[in-house]
Amino acid sequence: MVVYILLFLLAACASFVQRVTGFGFGIFIMMFLPYIMPSYNEAVALSGLLSGTTAFLIIIRKLRYICWRRMFLILLANIAVSYFVIMHMSSAGGDFLRHCLGIALILVALYFIFVEGRLKFSFESRWLQLSLGAISGIMGAMFAMPGPPVVLYGVNVIEDKEKYMATMQAFWLLFNMFYLLFRSSGSYYTSATPQLWLVGLAGLSVGLFFGAKCFNALDRKMFKRAVYLFMIVSGIVALFG
């Protein structure tokens, strides 16, 4: 029963974060979920299922806002690289690489908070989109943190807040569907997974409700600041987690 209560609360908080910033479900919940699950693999699997469900529930009302063209290249690179990493290199991630990732995330977020608008940085380049997608694939496969590179791209190329939210959720939904297939042959899913998913689903509804209210209250500038601040949190999690 204690596990169910904790899972409900974690899912509510994680879905709130994702509904406000467009990402971060996995980053938040994976700070705690491995400590209440029987194994890390099961925690990763449940996190992915709940994250994908969160994205789906948000998309239901925002389908018309999705900018499919904006996410094609970055999703293609993400899926290709993450498949290779999961199949061949998933055990190669070390503490040093994770710490470097954390420092990079913090520096990039600080750069865009304080310097954005003063220097030109083109996210329209196809090579840059492919590169960000590849980095996202590596981060997702090795550290369960695929979000920051994709969000950095999305928040800077999609001006409309609703279109940004819808497009990012479409990305996370497709991303988690592919990851579900990639990990289906391992020890990620057990007989307890469906029941735990239902408990988490109840928490999602609460987090999404309050997250939507907060999202609607943010103007464009405040919204981008919220995204960058959570990127800093992501970096701290990678650095000290």
| Distance (Å, whole) CA 237 – CA 139 | 13
Q: How far apart are CA 54 and CA 78, in angstroms?
A: 20
Residue 32 structural domain: 2-240
pLDDT tens, position by position, 126-153? 898 999 999 888 877 776 678 888 888 8
Ranges 32-46, 85-99, 128-142, 207-221: which has the least confidence: 85-99
SS3 146: coil
183: tokens are 């990990």
Q: What is the number of domains present in the chain?
A: 1
CA dist., res. 139 & res. 67, Å (int): 24
Length of the chain: 241
| Residue 34: HSE in the Cβ half-sphere, 13 Å Cα cutoff | 11
Question: Which tokens go with 212?
Answer: 């939507």
Q: Which of 35, 36, 53, 33 is nearest to 44 (CA)?
A: 33
